[in-house]
Chains A and B, each alone.
Chain A
Amino acid sequence: MKNLGIYAARLTPPVEGFAPGHRACIGCGEALAVRLACKAAGENIIIANATGCMEVVSSQLPASAWRIPWIHTLFENTAAVASGVEAALKAMTRKGKIADRGTKVIAMAGDGGTSDIGLQALSGALERYHDFLYICFDNEAYMNTGIQRSSATPFGASTTTSPAGKKSIGQKTWKKNMPAIAVAHNIPYVATASPSYPFDMMDKVKKGLAVNGPAYVHILSVCPTGWRSTPDLSVRLGRLAVETGVFPLYEVEDGKYKLSMDVSPLRPLKDYMSIQGRFRHLSEGMVKKIEDRVRKDYEQLKERCA
């Protein structure tokens, strides 16, 4: 509709860096998050993408869903590739080999590519203080290779390599706190976000790009295929993750924590877990135990934000 902006207060920008026609599953929260992140980033951008769902669904030769310059090389090195892009832009601009257009660099990877195999490259790039934004699209497992657990998989989730069974409750470890690891690098901007809160998410992507130096945005991305949820629930699940306190939205600017929204009193955890097949095997007692931990973590975060 023409001049829609007159009627609707806030609209997403019409630019589509990540074009329709890609091969993501129906209801893929990660594809939605990438699309919104690209809208926020605009066109003066270069993206380095790790191997994973988003790379695979968007780039089968000879087609590509990318309307912005995009490079994929390997799984664990995307932060390093982005370092090279950033350094090249810097050197060539300084030497007058290219015009200074303020092109920004984004590195993006899944939770596996970020918190496991790519953690070293990411840590190096953050520590070296490259001017880039790293976005982790966290769908809480290695989805591209068939739902194997990662260090970002939540406690109790059944995956193909942390299957629930007679002697197993599924994932036995608690989710690694990647944003805290990013914060520990003393970088100017860290945030968590969710495409279920699109304007908040896009603002954070913009902020991350605007700061001088490295920024890290961690986006929870619902994956109906891996979470064993119905595709129509993806946006709702994203909201429930926030409302139950499982995935609080916050920012850390120059080391200062700030809650993006306080959702207490928290909703019961079962509202979130009961509609996902990956938690189906958990007893009520176990859900309660997890809920206790979620609430404790949430309180701690609130204190840090106070």
Chain B
Amino acid sequence: MGKKVGMEVSLAIAEAAKMADTDVVAAYPITPQTHIVERLAELVANGELDAEYIPVESEHSAMSACLGSVATGARTFTATAGQGLELMHEVLYVAASMRLPVIMVVANRALSSPLNVWGDQSDLMAVRDTGWIQLICENGQEAYDTTLYAFRIGEDKRVLLPVMVHVDGFYLTHVIEPIEIPEQEKVNKFLPPFKYPLPLDPDKPVSMGAFAPPILYSETKKAQEVNLRASLPVIREVWDEFEKVFGRKYKAVESYRTEGAKTLLLTLGSFGETAMAAVDKLRDEGQAVGLLKLRLWRPFPFEDLRKAVGDAELLIVIDRALSYGGPGGPAFSEIRSALYSEKKRPRILGFVGGLGGRDLMVAEFEGMVKRAQEMRPKGAEEEFEMYGVRE
């Protein structure tokens, strides 16, 4: 077994990229991602990581340089957050559509304006439809593990898709946690070298990024859709493999104390840790409350979600992002639609909370359970509320 060390999560993420023997890092600093890329720059400067570090002049260029790098066949890593992710937006689609497996950690942060650098998942939700695989981490160990296995998933020949690893800004990036860093040999055993099938190579010239007229565009999009959905079994396979080598088991939807639960909370990311404490408390008080934690956002794990929801009567989805004027928080609205066709489905209510670094404590999670049990919505637009906001 590797040893557990107290480590800032950002540094653990950089360590994962290092142990994956990343060839190229192209990144632009933004709070709260900075410690990740600073650490990588340091590792390269010290010769601990043999890589080219491109200190680009913007996130748009960061992702663009990543495209060029992966297309040439190099293992490529970057990290960003909030505004940076939005500046990359256009380029994100290209990475997925051209099947260039860039691995990116996103230190999730609020979007301006007003300027706010703190934890929030608005950035995560805004890039939902770019075609990337999106994994969401709950704690530091997960952040290390997920960064590592993201390479294995994205670079798998059956997948070849870019992967975003989401870690809540500050809540995860800036905390020190006991993290088990495995031995390098184990990492080498788990992660084969990257072999891009058709890189830019003068010996075998390829044209990449040709344009598609209407008669072909739809087919390219269908192929992409089929491909992203087909990555789910590979992701499961990688999780199994990860468990074999490192002993930690991951799955798309994590259940916590759901046995016999009538009410379920559902969270994404670091909320999960606080929600667990709330569930413990409510269970102690005799309430049949459990918790689901969604780890995989794209491809959406429909099957796993349905199974995990089971016979619950009330499902409370907590979003850290808002869809202005829409049908509730993005996760809430997707989960409601994912369960819509089920014969027996729970009542589904949503809360939006914790925006821009506002803390949601155990008491707030308890409060949401209580509030949801009282809510009597008259229409879809009343099925969610912003929680803990002053009028």
Contacts A73-B98, A91-B51, A92-B74: A84 and B211 contacting too (C-beta < 8 A)?
Answer: no
B276 interface contact, C-beta 8 A: no
Q: Are A43 and B202 in contact (CB under 8 A)?
A: yes
The residue on A at minimum CB distance from B72 is A88
A81 and B65 within 8 A (CB): yes
B161 within 8 A of A: no
A67 to B205, CA, bound (A): 6
- Pick the contact of B200: A46, A79, A121 (CB < 8 A): A46
Q: Which of A64, A85, A97, A101 contacts B210 (CB 8 A)?
A: A64
Query: Is A66 a contact partner of B200 (Cβ separation < 8 A)?
Result: no
Known A-B contacts A44-B202, A64-B207, A74-B64; the reply to A98 vs B73 at CB < 8 A is: yes
Q: Which of B201-226 contact A (CB under 8 A)?
A: 201-202, 204-213, 216, 220
Would you call B61 and A83 a contact (CB within 8 A)?
yes
| B57/A88 in contact, CB under 8 A | no
- The answer on a CB contact under 8 Å between B57 and A60 is no
Cα separation A101 to B72 with both chains bound (whole Å): 14
Residue A61 CB within 8 A of the other chain: yes
* Structural contact, B72 and A124, CB atoms closer than 8 A: no
B310 at interface, CB cutoff 8 A: no
Quick check: B67 and A87 within 8 Å, CB to CB?
no
Bound complex: CA of A88 vs CA of B52, how far in Å? 7
Report the minimal beta-carbon distance from A44 to chain B, rounded to whole angstroms: 5
In the complex, the chain B residue whose C-beta lies closest to that of A72 is B209
Contact B202 A87 (CB under 8 A): no
List B residues 52-87 near A (Cβ within 8 Å): 52, 54-58, 60-62, 64-74, 76
- Complex contacts, B48 vs chain A, CB 8 Å: none
Cα distance, A61 to B207, chains bound together (Å) = 10
Contact A90 B52 (CB under 8 A): yes
Closest chain B residue to A124, Cβ basis? B57
B142 contacts the other chain (CB 8 A): no
* B200-A120 in contact (CB<8A): no
Is B176's beta carbon under 8 Å from chain A? no
Question: Per-residue 0/1 for A55-77: is the Cβ within 8 Å of any B Cβ (1 yes, 0 no)?
Answer: 11001111110111111111011
Chain A's closest residue to B196 (CB) is A88
In-complex Cβ contact of A87 among B58, B69, B208 (8 A): B69
Inter-subunit contact B64/A81 (CB<8 Å): yes
B160 close to chain A: CB less than 8 A: no
Does A94 belong to the interface (CB within 8 Å)?
A: yes
Q: Is the CB of A92 within 8 A of B209?
A: no
Query: Given the complex, which residues of A lie within 8 Å of B64, measured CB to CB?
Result: 73-74, 77, 80-81, 83-84, 121
Report which of B23, B91, B204, B216 forms a contact with A73, defined as CB distance below 8 A: B91
A225 at the interface (CB under 8 A from B): no
Within 8 A of A (CB), among B119-135: none
Q: Cβ of A128 and Cβ of B54 under 8 Å apart?
A: yes
B50 contacts partner chain A, Cβ-Cβ < 8 Å: yes
Collect the chain A residues with CB atoms within 8 Å of residue B212's CB.
Answer: 60-61
> Are B66's CB and A84's CB within 8 A?
yes
Residues in A whose Cβ lies below 8 Å from that of B55: 128
Asked if B24 is at the interface of the complex by the 8 Å CB criterion, the answer is: yes
Chain B residues within an 8 Å CB radius of A66 = 205, 207
Q: How far is the CB of A48 from chain B (nearest CB, A)?
A: 6
Contact yes or no, B210 A82, CB < 8 A:
no
Complex alpha-carbon distance, A84 and B26, angstroms: 8
**Given A68-B202, A83-B65, A74-B91 contact (CB < 8 Å):** yes
Q: Which residues of A contact B52 (CB under 8 A)?
A: 87-88, 90-91
In the bound complex, CA of A124 to CA of B207 (Å): 25
The reply to whether A89 and B207 contact each other, CB–CB distance below 8 Å, is no
Q: Are B65 and A87 in contact (CB under 8 A)?
A: yes
State A294–B82 Cα separation when bound (angstroms): 47
A121 touching B60 by the CB < 8 A rule? yes
Interface membership of A148, Cβ < 8 A:
no
Q: Do residues B68 and A71 form an inter-chain contact, with CB atoms below 8 A? A: yes
With contact pairs A48-B68, A91-B23 given, residues A83 and B54 touching in the complex (Cβ less than 8 Å): yes
Residue in A61, A86, A101 whose beta carbon sits within 8 Å of that of B216 in the complex? A61
Please tell me if A45 contacts chain B, counting CB pairs below 8 Å: yes
CB-CB nearest in chain A for B74: A88
Which of A56, A61, A89, A120 is the one whose CB lies under 8 Å from B57? Answer: A120
Give the chain A neighbours of B66 by CB distance below 8 A.
84
| A95 on interface, CB distance cutoff 8 Å | yes
In the complex, A230 has a CB within 8 A of chain B? no
Q: Check if B90 is an interface residue, CB within 8 A of chain A.
A: yes
Nearest first, the 3 A-B pairs at minimum CB distance are: A84-B68, A124-B57, A84-B65
Q: List 17 A-B contacts (CB under 8 A).
A: A43-B202, A46-B202, A59-B211, A60-B211, A66-B207, A67-B205, A70-B207, A85-B69, A85-B72, A87-B24, A87-B65, A87-B74, A88-B52, A88-B74, A91-B23, A97-B73, A124-B61
Please list the residues of chain B having a beta carbon within 8 angstroms of any beta carbon in chain A: 23-24, 26, 50-52, 54-58, 60-62, 64-74, 76, 90-91, 94, 98, 193, 200-202, 204-213, 216, 220
